[in-house]
Structure 1
Amino acid sequence: METAAVKRKRAEQEDSDNINGDELNDAAGDIDLSLLEAIEKSRPAVETLDLKTLKKLVLSFERRLKENIEARLKYPDQPDKFADCEVDLHDDLQKLRVLAGGSELYPDLVALNAVPSLLGLLSHDNIDIAIEVVNLLQDLTDEDVMDDDNPEPVIVLVDALIENNVLELLVQNLQRLSESDPDEVAAIYNTLATIENLIEVKPAVAELVCEKTKLLRWLLAKIRVKEFDSNKQYASEILAILLQNSTVNQKKVGQMNGVDVVLQAVAMYKSRDPKTGDEEEMVENLFDCLCCLLMPLENKERFVKAEGVELMIIIMKQKKSAYGSAIRALDFAMTKYPPACERFVDVLGLKSAFAAFMGKIPVNKKEKRERYREEMEERIISLIASLFGGIFRGSRRERLLSKFVENEFEKIDRLIELYVRYADRVKAETARLDQLKFDDLEIDDDERYNRKLESGLYTLQLIAVILGHLWCSEHSQVRARIEQLLKLQKLSKQDVKDILQEYHDNIGDLDGPDEKESAQGRIQRFISAL
């Protein structure tokens, strides 16, 4: 009722403006051109955005806010009585948006104590007022206002917003916005944009907003909805941002049944492709969320229990656009988690995996084919290395090894082919880095190693690990084939041992000293066996 009254009042004003405009147009024909020029000159000049202008805008806003509070208290049941001042308050909020063009004034805005007053309006009874505050906050925190050479003014504003509970107020307002009203739908988008802006300025906000608000619950509910819209896409993007680089958030979403929710969301695309580019981007966001969630061990367990392995294999078999994303998710799920590897073998995933390994990868025409195939190649090599690392004995191990024997050892042929290709890349990058050193360009050992990893060394190391597993199987024909192919390529087992030794020496202790020692022990056994 209140909103309707305000909108009715604004409509009356717009009608009045239109009438005046029409009258002016009718009279224009009778007015001398010089008179029009005089009128134009008499118009007030646009004010320069400076401290004086800021103070004037804030003072006007505070006055309108006070009038609105007093009117609502005086006439709580008579919306028409405070409709005028509500329109004025809305207009003053719109005027404040000009401050986005002068971020250097943000500390002054904070010093004038305007932030608490603005944020208080996020819970205003008139949803239009709250929406206008959201629009203002989105403008003030937009990435375009940040001066890379002097980010401090924006940081000052963001700090003040956070200190005054902007996160809680934004999410509370988000929960009351409707999906049926176009203005409120836009406000949902702008709310998410504001939260993203705050995270961009202060990365710690990513965990803070999940700790202090119910945003995660709202996001999960949004991506659960079957119908696609722009806000569902944005919700998936914000969720991915919150999950990346935050183990705390990953575990929290897992505890909220988030793994199952994300699996249900991607399951909608197991046998169909997204209809638009925006929908395709949303699916990629959902898989980003899934891969982030699969970092903590407990979420890998939830993934297996929710039949995530089976779903990813179905997606691979359907050969739709999510094919590559399914391989990526499986790679995350099976890394250092034997139960996922065992389930993969039990539900007949080896056939699909080795078809991809042999290069039978469906390529979406929209993809950059070469880069896409290369990425899938690296993922499937990682996946197979994880299978070997997660399945140590028994019939599952035999089924995995048998894949390299069938069809006259074609998988070993492919493995050596890949080894040679990635070894050549690493060799070329090593030569380039040696030239840099020759040219007296400083590059330390860590940077040198990282650049080699980026050029393909990591994938080459995984191929060497797979060769180590195959050699240690003590299958005489497998060993003979590996030696024969290495010799044909003018390589030797020593080359493989050198790659394994470099891998061994650079294993970190991110998972703890015990895990590091165990991993190095496995690699050392390969080196000794070769």
Structure 2
Amino acid sequence: MELPPLPTKRKRASASPPPLPSVDTVDLSLLEALEQAQQHNPVETLDLKTLKKLALSFERRLNSNTAARLKYPDQPEKFADSEIELHDELQKLKILAAAPELYPDLVSLGTVNSISALLNHDNTDIAIDAVSLLQDLTDADVIEDNDEPAQVLVDALVENNAVELLVQNLARLNDSDLDESSAIYSTLSTIENLIEVKPSVTELVCEKTKLLKWLQARIKVREFDSNKQYASEILAILLQNSAANQKRFGGMNGVDTLLQAVAMYKSKDPKMEDEEEMVENFFDCLCCLLMPLENKERFVKAEGVELMIIIMNQKKSCYGSAIRALDFALTNYPPACERFIDVMGLKTAFPAFMGKIPLNKKNKKKRYKEELEERLISLIASLFGGILRGSRRERLLSKFVENECEKVDRLMELYTRYSNRVKEETERLNRLVLDDFEISEEDKYNQKLDSGLYTLQLIAVILGHLWTSEHPRMRARIELLLKQQKLTRKDVKDILQEYHDFIGDLDGPEEKERAQSKIQKFIAAFR
């Protein structure tokens, strides 16, 4: 069976940055000095000539500061002025964000190397200035239509160890200080920007730094704040589409960390929208972690199945997210399916399958209800695929017999709805072909999957399990309902045949053959 789709790709940073310090908390003499420096050094029109002037001025201030620190290492007052001047030069370089086409020139001048080195400056304030500058230069709005210049800049930053230095800088920042808390946010934002431009940074940052460890520690903090939210968002980005990072974080006891994080909300709702988004990020991370087999095992051992059922029973805002996590956990992993049945999961899941979901602001949305339906169908299909015999199998089958086969009725109701939806999409695609639009069979298939074919296939698979059980009441009910909808067993066979023909070999040729063999048995049974 195919895996459920990955969590939706993360949006650009939505966490709100920490509040900036008030003017009263800033050294007024420093502000005055900066204002005077800016007045005496007005910025010219942005072109290569101006860039060279800015770069040269910056390098001079940097060299002056370096020399003063080396000459008077124990006398801060001797290099304080050079630090103010260096701060001023870094602020002036921010104007380059308005001309990203100059980034390759900035790199060729060697300025990026110098900026990267400042991330490790002894004065935390200067390091923070460097982070702020990089955040501005790599901002999504700045690089949006400047892919090539942005790529040159980010490549240079990676080559000059900026990624490692950014993470090292995180370790020395204190969240309780307003300036440094804001710098943490800026650092995370810069890392996200680098990943946006160069996706390979996703694995590089986890291989070469302790970012995962830092994020894990930040998530463990009980109190909510914007940086905890942003940490959850960055972790979701790092885990999405990276099996290496999923395995790496799983080996760091990451599954347990996330279970503890979501357990705080098993019987209460988040207080605000940002906190609610953070919890959704946690579940996104958990679902990503549940892709590798070894993490599914860790999830079961950590009693993750039990926790998700408790969350569902509490009927709070995490209800749907718990179903999603269970869907990932049970897919292609029989031990999780067995545990689910052993801890009375059927009693919790089937009321939801029948449409009895708790009332909250989410389930008023049609798409939310549909997603829950699709997740529950996938979950039930996984149970049938993971439990092939014994008393657990009988308990699962008995659910479709009880109450006059009401679950069979519900299954056929969903089959009809998704079948009609797929037929409409098929007709639309056929009209496009008649209008001379070229659409490959694979593209047509993928578009139909997006329109509900995947869920329809899973419903057909469940019907296959019910039919091959040879239970007379269930078979009679399925036959009756098909007839009422002017459908036949051949319609179900056709859905299963298409599913059979498009099963891929992502998990290897042997797994493909095994999956196709199982579907072929269902097709033969519906003769």
Compute the displacement of 1:170 (Å). 0.5
Distance 1:16 1:451, change over 3 A: closer
TM-score (norm 1): 0.92
Could you tell me how far apart the structure 2 residues matched to 1:9 and 1:81 are?
21
Compute the displacement of 1:16 (Å). 8.3
Deviations 1:182-209 (A, max 9, x none): 0100110010111100110011110010
Distance 1:147 1:284, change over 3 A: closer
Q: How does 1:24-35 map to 2 (within 5 A)?
A: none
The aligned residue for residue 357 of structure 1 is: 353
Does structure 1 conserve the Cα–Cα contact (< 8 Å) formed by 2:460 and 2:492? yes
The aligned residue for residue 87 of structure 1 is: 84
Q: 1:276 corresponds to which letter in structure 2?
A: M
| 2:256 matches 1:239 | no
The aligned residue for residue 104 of structure 1 is: 101
Could you tell me how far apart the structure 1 residues matched to 2:116 and 2:27 are?
24
Q: How does 1:150-169 map to 2 (within 5 A)?
A: 150-169=146-165
Does structure 2 conserve the Cα–Cα contact (< 8 Å) formed by 1:138 and 1:194? yes
Deviations 1:99-149 (A, max 9, x none): 10010111111111112211111111110000000000000111111153x
Q: How does 1:195-274 map to 2 (within 5 A)?
A: 195-274=191-270
1:498 aligned to which of 491, 494, 509? 494
Q: 2:368 corresponds to which letter in structure 1?
A: Y
The aligned residue for residue 61 of structure 2 is: 64
Does structure 1 conserve the Cα–Cα contact (< 8 Å) formed by 2:408 and 2:477? yes
Does structure 1 conserve the Cα–Cα contact (< 8 Å) formed by 2:34 and 2:84? no
Q: 1:98 corresponds to which letter in structure 2?
A: I
Q: How does 1:299-338 map to 2 (within 5 A)?
A: 299-338=295-334
- For the residue of structure 2 that corresponds to 1:404, the secondary structure is coil
| 2:485 matches 1:489 | yes
Could you tell me how far apart the structure 1 residues matched to 2:162 and 2:33 are?
38
The aligned residue for residue 178 of structure 2 is: 182
Deviations 1:342-373 (A, max 9, x none): 00000000011101100011242155521110
Q: 1:11 corresponds to which letter in structure 2?
A: L
1:12 aligned to which of 23, 29, 35? 29
Could you tell me how far apart the structure 2 residues matched to 1:370 and 1:116 are?
52
Does structure 1 conserve the Cα–Cα contact (< 8 Å) formed by 2:103 and 2:150? yes
| 2:365 matches 1:369 | yes
Compute the displacement of 1:67 (Å). 1.1
Distance 1:62 1:10, change over 3 A: farther
Deviations 1:278-320 (A, max 9, x none): 0111111110000000000000000000000000000000111
Overall identity of the aligned pairs, in %: 74
Distance 1:83 1:517, change over 3 A: same
1:194 aligned to which of 190, 194, 214? 190
| 2:49 matches 1:52 | yes
Compute the displacement of 1:69 (Å). 1.1
Could you tell me how far apart the structure 2 residues matched to 1:110 and 1:43 are?
27
Could you tell me how far apart the structure 2 residues matched to 1:496 and 1:158 are?
52
1:347 aligned to which of 343, 346, 356? 343
Deviations 1:224-253 (A, max 9, x none): 111111011111111100111110110001
Could you tell me how far apart the structure 2 residues matched to 1:16 and 1:69 are?
20
The aligned residue for residue 376 of structure 2 is: 380
Q: 1:123 corresponds to which letter in structure 2?
A: N
Does structure 1 conserve the Cα–Cα contact (< 8 Å) formed by 2:460 and 2:496? yes
Q: 2:142 corresponds to which letter in structure 1?
A: V
Q: 2:431 corresponds to which letter in structure 1?
A: Q
Does structure 2 conserve the Cα–Cα contact (< 8 Å) formed by 1:10 and 1:87? no
The aligned residue for residue 119 of structure 2 is: 122
**Higher mean Cα deviation, 363-372 or 190-199?**
363-372
Does structure 2 conserve the Cα–Cα contact (< 8 Å) formed by 1:350 and 1:400? yes
Does structure 1 conserve the Cα–Cα contact (< 8 Å) formed by 2:119 and 2:127? yes
Does structure 2 conserve the Cα–Cα contact (< 8 Å) formed by 1:426 and 1:452? yes
| Structure 2 residues without counterparts, runs of 5 or longer | 1-23
Q: Which has the higher contact order (CA 8 A, sep 6+)?
A: 2
- For the residue of structure 2 that corresponds to 1:173, the secondary structure is helix
Deviations 1:432-453 (A, max 9, x none): 1111111111111001001111
| 2:406 matches 1:410 | yes
Compute the displacement of 1:10 (Å). 5.3
Aligned residues: 501
Does structure 1 conserve the Cα–Cα contact (< 8 Å) formed by 2:422 and 2:451? yes
Could you tell me how far apart the structure 2 residues matched to 1:319 and 1:49 are?
57
Q: 1:327 corresponds to which letter in structure 2?
A: I
Distance 1:376 1:58, change over 3 A: same
Does structure 2 conserve the Cα–Cα contact (< 8 Å) formed by 1:363 and 1:373? no
TM-score (norm 2): 0.93
Could you tell me how far apart the structure 2 residues matched to 1:251 and 1:397 are?
31
Compute the displacement of 1:9 (Å). 11
Could you tell me how far apart the structure 1 residues matched to 2:43 and 2:95 are?
12
Could you tell me how far apart the structure 1 residues matched to 2:119 and 2:295 are?
36
Does structure 2 conserve the Cα–Cα contact (< 8 Å) formed by 1:363 and 1:369? no
Compute the displacement of 1:57 (Å). 0.9
Compute the displacement of 1:489 (Å). 1.2
Compute the displacement of 1:11 (Å). 2.8
The aligned residue for residue 445 of structure 1 is: 441
1:454 aligned to which of 450, 470, 481? 450
Compute the displacement of 1:511 (Å). 0.6
Structure 1 or 2, whichever has the larger Rg, is: 1
The aligned residue for residue 470 of structure 2 is: 474
Between structures 1 and 2, the one with greater helix share: 1
Could you tell me how far apart the structure 1 residues matched to 2:180 and 2:214 are?
15
